[in-house]
Amino acid sequence: MAEYHVGCGLAGIYAGTIKKPGEWKNKSEVTGEALRSVAEYMLGQLKEGDRAYEITWTNQTTGKKIVLTCHREDADAV
């Protein structure tokens, strides 16, 4: 069974299989689907009463901290 990978490039987020590290065998552009999936996952991690969920990590290339936040808005608050 093929092992799937996800990666990013200048034009978006891709998913597919690789021949060797750094070389795609085949790939599909999945930016919109990936972002919606991450947001839905983060929304599912919210505990009762919380309005936001954060994931924090350090970029391996720049050493800078990255914070990704998913904030829930109630439908009647818009």
For residues 71 and 51, is the Cβ–Cβ distance under 8 A? yes
What single DSSP character describes residue 4? Answer: P
- In whole angstroms, give the CA distance from residue 23 to residue 15: 12
pLDDT at 78: 54
How many domains are contained in the chain?
A: 1
Q: What pTM was computed for the model? A: 0.77
pLDDT at 71: 93
Q: Which domain holds residue 67?
A: 5-77
Q: pLDDT tens track of the chain, all 78 residues?
A: 678 999 998 999 999 999 988 889 999 999 999 999 999 999 999 999 999 999 999 999 999 999 999 998 887 665
pLDDT at 75: 73
Identify any residues that bridge with 66 across adjacent strands, giving them in sequence order.
57
* List of residues 6+ apart from 7 with CB closer than 8 A: 13, 14, 27
